[in-house]
Amino acid sequence: MTADAVLSRELKSLREELSAAHQRRLSQAGDRASATAKTAPPAAAPEDTAEQQQLRVELRELVDVIKDFVEETEKNVSAHPAATAIGAMIVGILIGRLLGRH
C-alpha cells in the first residue's frame, strides 16, 4: 500500500472523528436547549460565538498545514533520505522505550 493511500485513510478517519465529535456536541447542546426551552420562553437562535469562530479558523489553518505537509512529504523524503531514515529510527526507539516502561 502506498504512503498516499495510508495518509488519505488516516485523514479520512480523522475527519470522521471530528465530525462525530461535532455532532455529539450539537446534540448535547440541543438536549440542553430543549430542556431550557421547556422552562424558558423561546429566544432567537444563537449565532456562533467569537470563540467558536476562532476555533473554526484555527482548524482550517491546521488542515491546510497538514495538506501542505502531506504534499511535500514525497519531495522531502527523496531530497533527504538519510535524515528520514534516522528520524524514523529515533521515533521507533522512543516508542519502544515508552512502551517498554509500562
pTM assigned to the model: 0.34
Task: Compute CA distances 36 → 18, 47, 49, 83, 98, whole Å.
Answer: 27, 17, 19, 57, 47
- Which is more confidently placed, 65 or 14? 65
Backbone angles phi, psi at 75, to 5 degrees: -65, -40
pLDDT at residue 44 above 50?
no
Alpha carbon 62 to its chain centroid, in Å, reads: 8
The dihedral built from the CA positions of residue 12, 26, 52 and 44, taken in this order, carries a sign that is: positive
Backbone angles phi, psi at 96, to 5 degrees: -60, -40
pLDDT band at 81 (very low <50, low <70, confident <90, very high): confident
